[in-house]
Amino acid sequence: MPESRAPSRRLSAEYFGAERDFWWNDDFVALMARRLHLRSARHALDVGCGVGHWGRTLLPYLRASARVTGVDRQRQWVRRATTIAIKRGIGDRVNYKYGLAESLPFADGSFDFVTCQTLLIHVADPARVLAEMLRVTRPCGQVLLVEPNNLAAALVYGSTVATISNTKRVQLVRLQSTCERGKAVMGEGNDSIGDLVPGLLLEAGAVDIRVYLSDCASPLVPPYVDAAQQAFRDQLLDWARRGYWLWERYDAQRYFAAGGGTAATFERYWSIAISYLDQIANDLLRGTYHSAGGGIMYLVSGRRTDS
């Protein structure tokens, strides 16, 4: 079975900034930890850990003696995650290593709790990854998969929406939808796989499957005074400065073509997207942009059978 293409370092880096620390509400994570009985876990595995955000988010809700292992296919993220853990004084509770999600470097049943966050959106064969995650989970152990429907965000309104026509909004949705389709066709993952994860987990052999939704939004309301809003504001301003819309232009162009779009249509849609982003940036700088910043992030849990 062929290995999936590694997520690009550029794409990963786009979502490892300060805003990543504000993806979750602490009280919601505490609630999920109670629902999933995470205090019983002694050893957890974070697959596709990146620079360790998700594992660090969960760590306070595990038992005091629990350890988190993170595995990632990008060696630079493994090194950075290790450095961050040491600086934050948790180096004795977390460790990171290089490895592929499609072939995890661990023995069967090594972990009480196995999880991932926005990993499956980057893999060509999620069924293979889920089989590996269940393999390294102990019998009756818990798995938790955190994946989005990113396409839903194409219809989230901000105040700048009044500056473009309904026709252009539909074209932005078509741009994103076609790119997502092409990305999947090219074997680089399905950016809205969250909707499909419960069924995929069932097909992988898990039981007691449950689905939850994150309650965290990314609002921007003037004057953007708290740290979270400042981080999201800075991210949007940086994207506008670089002409980055969900993907870099190069990646978006090849995804669009693979999804069945023409070069001329891509140029038209991309121009609309960048113009829209520039308007958002201008409104942010004037202190007039506002948005509730909602999105769909699923948390799908299941257990390995006792056999």
Q: For residue 46, list its beta bridge partners.
A: 70, 115
DSSP H or E run through 36: none
Contact 164, 267 (CB under 8 A): no
Tell me the average confidence (pLDDT) per consecutive run of 10 residues in the chain, 307 residues long: 41 80 96 96 97 96 96 96 96 97 98 98 97 97 98 91 87 97 97 98 98 97 96 96 96 98 98 96 97 97 90
Domain count, the chain: 2
- Residue 47 counted as domain residue: yes
- Residue 1 counted as domain residue: no
**Domain check: are 174 and 49 in the same one?**
no
Range of 17's domain? 9-152+189-216+294-303
Give pLDDT, residue 9. Answer: 47
**Domain check: are 55 and 158 in the same one?**
no
Sign of CA dihedral 233, 31, 40, 208: negative
**Domain check: are 203 and 110 in the same one?**
yes
Give pLDDT, residue 34. Answer: 97
**Domain check: are 236 and 256 in the same one?**
yes
**Domain check: are 211 and 246 in the same one?**
no
* 88: Cα within 13 Å, side-chain hemisphere: 15
Give pLDDT, residue 10. Answer: 55
Give pLDDT, residue 12. Answer: 64
**Domain check: are 258 and 193 in the same one?**
no
Give pLDDT, residue 6. Answer: 42
- Residue 121 counted as domain residue: yes
- Residue 3 counted as domain residue: no
**Domain check: are 81 and 196 in the same one?**
yes
Give pLDDT, residue 306. Answer: 81
Q: How far apart are CA 21 and CA 15, in angstroms?
A: 10
C-alpha distance from residue 232 to each of 20, 222, 225, 295 (Å): 9, 12, 11, 14
Give pLDDT, residue 1. Answer: 31
Give pLDDT, residue 11. Answer: 59
- Residue 4 counted as domain residue: no
